[in-house]
Amino acid sequence: METKFSLAHLTVLGCAPPEMIYLAKMCGYDYVSLRPIYMGLPGEPNYDLAHKKEMLLQTKKALKTTGIGVHDIELARIVDDIDVKQYLPAIEAGAELGAKSLLSSVWTDNKALYTEKFHELCELTKPYGMNVDLEFVTWSGVKNLKQAKELLNSTPATNKGLMVDTLHFNRSRVALEELDGLPAEWFHFVHLCDGPSEIPTTNEGLIFTGRDERYYVGEGGINIDEIINRIPKEVVFSIELPHIKRVAELGYAEHARRCLETAKDYLKKMNY
């Protein structure tokens, strides 16, 4: 099976979906991972395709012209007092574009709440033929693999999944052995990137690396090969690699090209 790659929106966040799709085609990606759920974070562009009809039309045109696919959409955050039905327009738009997965993460410590809401999100998404893939993030409510596993085991939903981000895996100090024995059907894609060997001790430091300065694969100190080799089946690699300074220096297209080139070189060396 040929390894497939997706360009994650955070890598080129300044590019609207149509532009991102053409860029992905030019660089040699197979898919894009779009961000049509607007979260209102500082400096974040609004790509709410469900309500930006012209942008949605241009996105469809770009997909048809290039042959690029949409692998997943993000980010369905579970927070206090969330009504997950608010994500339905984005889910419908994602399904219309052919998305296979909806990425979710938890931003509350209320275990009963996030357990209930994650199950509800899976049920909401299921009629659209999409998985809901849970990402554990070091500074979130579900911050490690143990908590993620507990949450996934708590729901009988058949479209649940686990999305491992190599940076967050490292930053959460997850033991490699924790991947052993996990159900293969949980795995659909991985966020691929590298980072410094030293793990920040503050949330500010963790967030800075995560959002502003990730490294090309093989450039940093994360044991990416050992993580990947324990994933129980071949997956799509979505390259989530924001680096503000490099984008300013190189431009989005060259940065995205280097992201893919270095990832392919790394995987080739490890005979993946």
Please give the pLDDT value at position 40: 85
Please give the pLDDT value at position 255: 98
Two structure tokens written together for 14: 């300044």
Contacts 24+ apart (CB under 8 A), 208-213: 209/167, 209/171, 210/137, 210/138, 210/167, 210/168, 210/171, 211/10, 211/242, 212/242, 212/243, 212/244, 213/242, 213/243, 213/244, 213/245
Two structure tokens written together for 239: 């390259």
Please give the pLDDT value at position 204: 85
Contacts 24+ apart (CB under 8 A), 205-212: 206/138, 206/139, 206/171, 207/139, 209/167, 209/171, 210/137, 210/138, 210/167, 210/168, 210/171, 211/10, 211/242, 212/242, 212/243, 212/244
Four-CA torsion 229, 232, 236, 237, nearest 10 degrees: -30
Domain 5-269 superfamily per CATH = Divalent-metal-dependent TIM barrel enzymes (3.20.20.150)
| pTM reported for the whole predicted model | 0.95
* Tens digit of each residue's pLDDT, the chain (272 residues): 789 999 999 999 999 999 999 999 999 999 999 999 998 887 889 999 999 999 999 999 999 999 999 999 999 999 999 999 999 999 999 999 999 999 999 999 999 999 999 999 999 999 999 999 999 999 999 999 999 999 999 999 999 999 999 999 999 999 999 999 999 999 999 999 999 988 888 878 787 778 888 999 999 999 999 999 999 888 999 999 999 999 999 999 999 999 999 999 999 998 88
Task: Mention every residue, 6+ apart, whose C-beta is less than 8 A from residue 87.
Answer: 37, 76, 102, 121, 124
Please give the pLDDT value at position 39: 87
Neighbour tally for 21: CB within 10 Å: 30
Is the previous residue joined to 75 through a cis bond, with omega within 30 degrees of 0?
A: yes
- Residue 95 corresponds to which amino acid? A
The domain spans of the chain are: 5-269
Neighbour tally for 52: CB within 10 Å: 18
